[in-house]
Structure 1
Amino acid sequence: MRRRLRKIADPIEPSLLLRGRIPLASLIQTLAVAEHLNFRHAAKAMGVSLSSVSARVKTLEEDLGILLFERHARGVRLTEAGRHFVELVVVGVDQLDHAVKTAGMAAHGECGRLRIGVHALIPRSFLAGLIERYREDHPGIDVEITEGTARDTMMQLRADHLDIVFVAGIPELPDCHSRRIWTEPLLAALPDRHRLAERPTVTWADLAGETFLVRHGGTGPQAHDHILLRLAGRWPTRSILRFDVERCTLLSMVGQGFGITIVAAASSLLPTPGVRFLPVTDEPEPVAFSAVWSPYNQSAILRNLLDLARKMAHPFPSASP
């Protein structure tokens, strides 16, 4: 069969379609005639004139140098060459139709892939809710999540391995776009046996002299600098210990009495036995979280996520208790 197909195809110049000598309409009308085996019925089904269908099919046969149909009084029948031609054209037209539909969906952000970099994905947090809502609204998008430090995910973003990254803070990057998306109150995480644990809130003055625990990665460096800024000049001298651990391990260490730490409010949603989370009432601003993406990424998939984030974002809250 493969040898026969080659013989049939030999007289057909491969560039005919590309040169515009075979209009797509001619192929579609030829398929209609092959389906109905009647020029008049095919024309009626397509809503065009009989003369148009007849002329297009005849021109196609002349361009190909192949007789596709045998005409008779009650209709037509496909020739052997016509049968093979139609079988292959049906596949091609179906693929073209699928390509057009898929391209349209991709242009509107309804199919494709979205690669997201996060510092953490905590259940019931704003970020988890955003991604869940996005997947519900756009079921045709494959959402891929990569967890890592801000430095690592930003490197992947710049290497075009991620489409968007969510980080703590409001970065100002000359080569990337960024937008503040949501905020969370700052909390102090203390052992439930701590002297301040029964209070409803704490102040930075209350925390002066405490031993603070921070991480080497993630938001650890930011937390370290923030503690130094808030406790500068206070007495007694504070102590800040750094550990190369994950967020959950650091909170577990707090519960075991190693020290205290500061976290954004979403961390209090993690089940952490032995830890109390208290708002820091004199913290002037809540913790901001931003989206970062490449200015060259113009996809509707990304735009839809940013639009949804803007709609879901909470207003910037006050620092009142």
Structure 2
Amino acid sequence: MTDLQWGMPTSLGSRIPLASLIQTLAVAEYLNFRHAANALGVAQSSVSARVKALEEDLGILLFERHARGVRLTEAGRHFVERIAAGVDQLDHAVKTAGMAAAGECGRLRMGIHALIPGSFLANLIGQYRENHPGIEVEITEGTARDAVMQLRDDRLDVAFVAGRPELPDCHSRPIWTEPLVAVLPEGHPLAGQSAVTWADLAGETFLVRHGGTGPQVHSHIVLRHAGRWPAPSILRFDVGRGALLSMVGQGFGITIVGAATSLLPTSGISFLPFADEQEPVAFSAVWSPFNRSATLRNLLTLANDMGRLVRTD
């Protein structure tokens, strides 16, 4: 009789080496120390020593040894069943943590102004989801002001907004650009032209949305009229992009949009580029400097790469 008192378990907590548990599971699977050692690629003596040390630390006989191998004791069977489940959970946790650190699982919360099929932003999101299928992408549509407020409240990871915002508490980076176009009813006297100027539109009634890029559109119209023509007539509506375009087609007024809007299926309206807009409208990504997630980093890298390809085409 040895000093080991079988049936007197010891509370070891997290002090049991993981290698001892893994080798014990291997012995329980093969019921043979030599076969278990071969499967693990270690020496048989190492497996035997670890299992024996574990039994002594636990105060429990896990295996009954015999000439042809080993057999689990009843206590050993209960121990192995629970340890196997724990090791599986640990393995899953390690893999999941690794995937999260690489940005391959988790979620990405994104604020946008619109999602138009065929647009740069739609293509970016589609490519990101294809590259990272394990990421749950959450999309919120709203104004730039709303998006920045949600960023500050940690309710969004990134926002895509019109312009080049300079915010002291956020990082931002221009990603892509779109020419500015005027939207006129098909029956408008200017609709047949190849392009328009701001002088052509002086005196027109402009329609803008409360949501989306509406606030930026409003400011741009006012800026272009300042000091040159009387203050423009601007009507604001709490409607979606499609409804606003329909109102233009019905003669309520005209509006201005980024060129991506012309990709939408429409009728009764014409999209005309501006001849006197020297630069296209920039669209930027905005995010918190405290957000170090790999999901965000992967999106920004992809956005930068896709934006570079668009600029070089």
Q: Find the counterpart in structure 2 of residue 152 from structure 1.
A: 146
Q: Find the counterpart in structure 2 of residue 91 from structure 1.
A: 85
Q: Find the counterpart in structure 1 of residue 120 from structure 2.
A: 126
Q: CA, structure 1 residues 198+54, in 2 after alignment: closer, same or farther (shift >3 Å)?
A: same
Instruction: Give the alignment's Cα RMSD to 1 decimal.
Output: 1.7
Is the Cα contact below 8 Å between 1:216 and 1:242 reproduced in 2?
yes
Aligned partners of 1:295 and 1:135: how far apart in 2? 23
Q: CA, structure 1 residues 9+171, in 2 after alignment: closer, same or farther (shift >3 Å)?
A: farther
2:166 pairs with one of 172, 187, 191: 172
The 5-angstrom pairing of residues 260-271 of structure 1 reads 260-271=254-265
Is the Cα contact below 8 Å between 2:26 and 2:36 reproduced in 1?
yes
Q: Find the counterpart in structure 2 of residue 71 from structure 1.
A: 65
* SS of residue matched to 1:308: helix
Is the Cα contact below 8 Å between 1:181 and 1:309 reproduced in 2?
yes
Q: Find the counterpart in structure 2 of residue 227 from structure 1.
A: 221
Q: Which moved more, 1:143-152 or 1:302-311?
A: 143-152
Is the Cα contact below 8 Å between 1:185 and 1:287 reproduced in 2?
yes
How far is 1:216 from its partner? 2.6
User: What is the TM-score when the length of structure 1 is the normalising length?
Assistant: 0.91
How far is 1:234 from its partner? 3.1
Residue 113 of structure 1 aligns with an amino acid whose one-letter code is R
How far is 1:72 from its partner? 0.8
Residue 231 of structure 1 aligns with an amino acid whose one-letter code is H
The 5-angstrom pairing of residues 129-278 of structure 1 reads 129-235=123-229, 238-278=232-272
Aligned partners of 2:275 and 2:145: how far apart in 1? 30
Residue 282 of structure 1 aligns with an amino acid whose one-letter code is D
What does the per-residue CA deviation read over 1:50-92, in whole Å, with 9 as the maximum and x for residues that have no partner? 1111110010001000000001111110000000000001001
Query: Which consecutive residues of structure 2, in runs of 5 or more, have no partner in the other structure?
Result: 1-5
User: What is the TM-score when the length of structure 2 is the normalising length?
Assistant: 0.93
Is the Cα contact below 8 Å between 2:183 and 2:254 reproduced in 1?
yes
Is the Cα contact below 8 Å between 2:8 and 2:60 reproduced in 1?
no
Aligned partners of 2:63 and 2:18: how far apart in 1? 18
Q: CA, structure 1 residues 181+10, in 2 after alignment: closer, same or farther (shift >3 Å)?
A: farther
2:10 pairs with one of 9, 12, 23: 12
Aligned partners of 2:230 and 2:64: how far apart in 1? 101
* SS of residue matched to 1:233: coil
Is the Cα contact below 8 Å between 1:183 and 1:316 reproduced in 2?
no
What does the per-residue CA deviation read over 1:33-65, in whole Å, with 9 as the maximum and x for residues that have no partner? 111111111112211111111110010001000
1:31 pairs with one of 1, 25, 29: 25
Q: Find the counterpart in structure 2 of residue 106 from structure 1.
A: 100
Residue 98 of structure 1 aligns with an amino acid whose one-letter code is H
How far is 1:235 from its partner? 4.3
What does the per-residue CA deviation read over 1:285-317, in whole Å, with 9 as the maximum and x for residues that have no partner? 111111111111111111010000001015797
